[in-house]
Structure 1
Amino acid sequence: MALPTYRKPARKAVRHGTSLVTLTLVITAPAVFAVAVLRPRSR
Structure 2
Amino acid sequence: MYGAAINKLLFSFLEKAHEHIRILFYIHILVVQVFIYMESI
Same fold (TM over 0.5): no
What TM-score results when the alignment is normalised by the length of structure 2?
0.42
What TM-score results when the alignment is normalised by the length of structure 1?
0.40
Higher helix share: 2
Q: Which structure is richer in relative contact order (CA contacts within 8 A, separation 6 or more)?
A: 2
Larger radius of gyration: 1
